[in-house]
């Protein structure tokens, strides 16, 4: 397992380095001219870092949520947090707000995500704890409500804002710059750290609250910690660049094929794999048809889903 | 109920418990579990078997009365320290995430910071699952799953196993195998085992049984002394007939329409 984890780390780092120099304009890192330097440090590096952060957050929070909700179909967007973020971002884009400059839309969507996460948490709270079924249902319910409001808002909007809002919702990394990276780093790293530190408790919780209790964990306290870590990661990820499908749902499953289900390995490995996948997807999205960019979320699903189905063939995962 | 020849591991002193606000489900209940005891907790559905085991494992807390663990109040233990002493097997575990047997057994060391005294492979061999370490738990049979859990408790090092209906949905052969395995581990490691049951014929094979109904104890002691016709009729609300076919081999037949 250690060898496989090492492979994942090495491959992820290689992909990151490659994505920085490759693209419509190939950069030779050993012979940098002024233009290349500009592109490298002001466009490519921040953009790849944002892609990695978003992908890491999605992979890790998917791994945590599937366990915490005991549902292999759970993904970070199921909690409604992303719908709240999208609604808030759309309000910002369509309303043309710019009170924080380029930071307005990320700030709005982060606020939307945190507020939605809090509502979900409050609605899932009963008898002194968070209950998995309630989290799932409250999340799905709010998700539908916010999606409906978002569609209503978009149907009433003009064409110009509409396209920008659509791009953002599909996942848009073209606006990435250094300004978003510190806060993104902070929340994603905090989330992954908290989740990895509580990975033993998560393993036990997956099998049941009473089982976790028998191993010395307080189920409700652990679930609150895990929920907060997932909410922070998801909020940070969505506010950095919108919604990216596939990673949160299927990357944890792919990693389980290779490393097993132990959350202590799964969470960091799913984070690295998610980051690497989004990095490749973003590289493809900006390279195939320049200067046009394809939505990165579409690419993750187009390359990820067939690979997942290929792996699924020979396995009896998800069997009961 | 304190004529024990072995030190008490778990003692309840007049505990009462109720779910919600209705009248107490368990009222003023006292009993003692000694080291090395092998106890069958017998009762009909809804008699309070699970509730009692959950009180004993600390999942539920009594509204009044005291539970003592190794002579000290239950409350005085940290969760992690309690987990080194008691292991509780719920009636059902969730297998929606595909853990392997080895991953499950390895969870037994979570309460500890030091490496376990026995390894995962030793524990698997002790319960006869040495060949299934890399299988997914969801692919195991019911009996194998319970044995995997028992292997985990060996790493956990718990001296008291509280098992909620571990024999449910097992064929009689596997029921006997599981009881024999637990008894062997008890003999080798001097642990105490309490398991909820609802099959009276299985209870007859235990050294000690405790029969409960409506949260009250109808009797504690050897099966011969406790599993009498009136006690069973009261516990299960059926007409029964006890047939003795030798000194310890009794079997019980039931008749409908009590």
Q: Using one digit for the tens of pLDDT, what is the confidence trace for B156-168?
A: 989 999 999 999 8
pLDDT higher than threshold 50 for residue B50: yes
In a domain, A206, yes or no: yes
Handedness of CA B77, B83, B85, B88 (dihedral sign): positive
Q: What is the DSSP letter of B115?
A: P
Range of the domain at A258: 2-313
* Per-residue model confidence (pLDDT) at position A120: 93
Mean pLDDT confidence for B141-167: 92
CA distance A160 to A164: 7
Query: What CATH code is assigned to B1-79+159-167+191-258?
Result: 3.40.50.300
> CB-based contact (8 Å) between A127 and chain B?
no
C-beta separation of A219 from A213 below 8 A: yes
What's the Cα-to-Cα distance from A205 to each of A59, A209, A304, A310, B155, rounded to whole Å?
Answer: 19, 5, 29, 30, 18
* pTM for the structure as a whole: 0.90
Domain-embedded: residue A201: yes
**How far is the alpha carbon of A6 from chain B, nearest alpha carbon, in Å?**
20
pLDDT band at A26; cut points 50, 70, 90: confident
**Which residues 52-71 of A are in CB contact (within 8 Å) with B?**
66-67, 70-71
Domain count, chain A: 1
Residue A73 contacts B where some CB pair is shorter than 8 Å: no
- Please give the Cα distance from B215 to B233 (Å, whole number): 16
Rounded CA separation B104/B110 (Å):
11
pLDDT for B1 beyond 50 = no
* Nearest one of A94, A222, A58, A86 to A142, comparing CA atoms: A86
* Euclidean distance between CA atoms A182 and A178, whole angstroms: 8
Evaluate if residue A230 carries a pLDDT over 50: yes
> What's the Rg (C-alpha) of chain B?
18
Q: Could you read off the pLDDT of A247-270 as tens digits, one per residue?
A: 998 899 999 988 999 999 999 999
Rounded Cα–Cα distance for residues A75 and A64 (Å): 9
Contact B218, B234 (CB under 8 A): yes
Beta-sheet strand order (sheet of B192-197): B86-89, B160-163, B192-197, B38-42, B208-213, B216-221
Residue A220 touches chain B, beta carbons under 8 Å? no
Is residue A90 in a domain? yes
Q: What is the CATH number of the domain that holds A263?
A: 1.10.3470.10
8 Å CB contact of A214 and B87: yes
| Number of Cβ atoms within 10 Å of the Cβ of A264 | 15
Q: Is B57 on the interface with A (CB under 8 A)?
A: yes
* Residue A100 maps to a domain: yes
Nearest Cβ partner for B57 among A67, A71, A214:
A214
**Does residue B111 register a pLDDT over 60?**
yes
Whether A75 has a pLDDT exceeding 90, the answer reads no
- A36 reaches B (C-beta below 8 A): no
The answer on pLDDT for A320 being more than 60 is no
> Does any domain span residue A276?
yes
Distance CA A135, CA A120 (A): 6
* ipTM score: 0.91
Chain A environment of B110 (Cβ under 8 Å): 200, 203-204, 215-217
- A318 assigned to some structural domain: no
Helices A263-287 & A45-68, crossing angle to 10 degrees?
Answer: 140
Choice among A41-50, A129-138, A288-297, B173-182 with the minimum mean pLDDT: A288-297
| H/E stretch holding B54 | helix B49-57
pLDDT for B2 beyond 60: no
What pLDDT is recorded for position B248? Answer: 61
pLDDT, tens digit (0-9, with 9 covering 90-100), for B195-209? 999 888 888 888 999
In 3-state terms chain B splits into helix, strand, coil percentages (rounded to 5) of: 35, 30, 40
All residues of chain B having their beta carbon less than 8 Å from the beta carbon of residue A206 are 94, 96-97, 99
- What residues does CATH 3.40.50.300 cover in chain B? 1-79+159-167+191-258
Supply φ then ψ for residue B67, to 5 degrees.
-115, 130
Residue of B53, B85, B96, B161 best to disrupt the A interface, most CBs of A under 10 A? B96
**Quick check: is A251 in a domain?**
yes
Q: What mean pLDDT is reported for chain A?
A: 88
- The CB density around residue A258, as the number of other CB atoms within 10 Å, is 16
Q: What is the pLDDT of residues A86-142, one digit of tens each?
A: 999 889 888 878 787 778 888 899 999 999 999 999 999 988 888 999 999 999 999
What are the tokens at A237?
């990820």
Give pLDDT tens digits for A133-192.
999 999 999 999 999 999 898 888 877 788 888 888 888 888 788 888 998 999 999 999
Per-residue model confidence (pLDDT) at position A112: 92
Alpha carbon separation from B153 to A219, A258, B80, B188 (Å, rounded): 19, 27, 14, 14
DSSP string, A250-295: HHHHHHHHHH-S-HHHHHHHHHHHHHHHHHHHHHHHHHSSTTS---
Mean pLDDT taken over chain B: 87
pLDDT confidence tier of residue B76, bands split at 50, 70 and 90: very high
């Amino acid at each position: 397992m250690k060898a496989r984890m090492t492979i994942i780390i090495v491959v992820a780092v290689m992909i990151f380095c490659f994505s920085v120099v490759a693209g419509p304009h190939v950069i030779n890192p050993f012979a940098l001219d002024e233009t290349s330097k500009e592109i490298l440090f002001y466009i490519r590096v921040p953009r790849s870092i944002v892609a990695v952060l978003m992908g890491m957050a999605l992979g890790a929070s998917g791994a945590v949520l599937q366990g915490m909700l005991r549902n292999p179909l759970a993904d970070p967007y199921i909690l409604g947090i992303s719908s709240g973020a999208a609604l808030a971002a759309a309000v910002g884009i369509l309303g043309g707000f710019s009170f924080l400059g380029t930071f307005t839309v990320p700030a709005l969507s982060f606020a939307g995500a945190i507020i939605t996460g809090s509502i979900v948490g409050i609605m899932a709270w009963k008898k002194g704890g968070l209950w998995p079924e309630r989290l799932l249902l409250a999340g799905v319910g709010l998700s539908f409500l916010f999606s409906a409001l978002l569609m209503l808002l978009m149907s009433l909007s003009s064409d110009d804002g509409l396209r920008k809002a659509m791009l953002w919702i599909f996942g848009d990394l073209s606006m990435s710059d250094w300004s978003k990276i510190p806060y993104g780093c902070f929340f994603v790293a905090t989330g992954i750290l908290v989740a990895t530190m509580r990975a033993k408790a998560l393993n036990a919780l997956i099998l049941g609250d009473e089982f976790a209790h028998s191993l010395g964990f307080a189920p409700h306290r652990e679930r609150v910690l895990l929920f907060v870590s997932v909410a922070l990661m998801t909020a940070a990820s969505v506010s950095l660049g919108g919604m990216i499908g596939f990673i949160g749902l299927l990357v944890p499953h792919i990693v389980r094929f290779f490393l097993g289900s132990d959350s202590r390995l799964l969470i960091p490995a799913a984070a690295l794999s998610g980051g690497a996948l989004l990095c490749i997807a973003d590289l493809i999205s900006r390279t195939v048809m320049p200067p046009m960019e394809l939505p990165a979320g579409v690419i993750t699903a187009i390359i990820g889903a067939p690979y997942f189905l290929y792996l699924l063939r020979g396995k009896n995962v998800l069997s009961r | 109920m304190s004529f024990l020849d072995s030190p008490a591991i778990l003692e309840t002193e007049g505990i009462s418990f109720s779910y919600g606000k209705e009248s107490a489900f368990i009222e003023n209940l006292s009993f003692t579990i000694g080291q090395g005891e092998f106890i069958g907790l017998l009762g009909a559905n809804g008699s309070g078997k699970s509730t009692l085991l959950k009180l004993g494992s600390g999942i539920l807390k009594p509204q009044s009365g005291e539970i003592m663990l190794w002579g000290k109040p239950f409350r005085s233990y940290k969760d992690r320290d309690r987990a080194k002493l008691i292991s509780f097997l719920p009636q059902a575990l969730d297998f929606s995430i595909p853990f392997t047997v080895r991953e499950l057994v390895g969870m037994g060391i979570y309460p500890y910071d030091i490496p376990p005294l026995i390894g995962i492979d030793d524990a698997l061999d002790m319960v006869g699952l040495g060949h299934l370490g890399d299988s997914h738990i969801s692919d195991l049979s019911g009996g194998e799953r319970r044995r995997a859990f028992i292997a985990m408790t060996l790493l956990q090092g718990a001296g008291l196993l509280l098992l909620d209906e571990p024999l449910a949905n097992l064929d009689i052969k596997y029921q006997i195998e599981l009881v024999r395995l637990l008894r062997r581990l008890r003999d080798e490691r001097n642990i105490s085992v309490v398991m909820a049951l609802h099959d009276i014929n299985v209870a007859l094979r235990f050294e000690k049984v405790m029969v409960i109904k409506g949260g009250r104890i109808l009797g504690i002691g050897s099966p011969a002394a406790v599993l009498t016709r009136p006690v069973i009729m009261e516990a299960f609300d059926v007409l029964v007939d006890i047939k003795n076919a030798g000194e310890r081999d009794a079997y019980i037949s039931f008749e409908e329409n009590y």
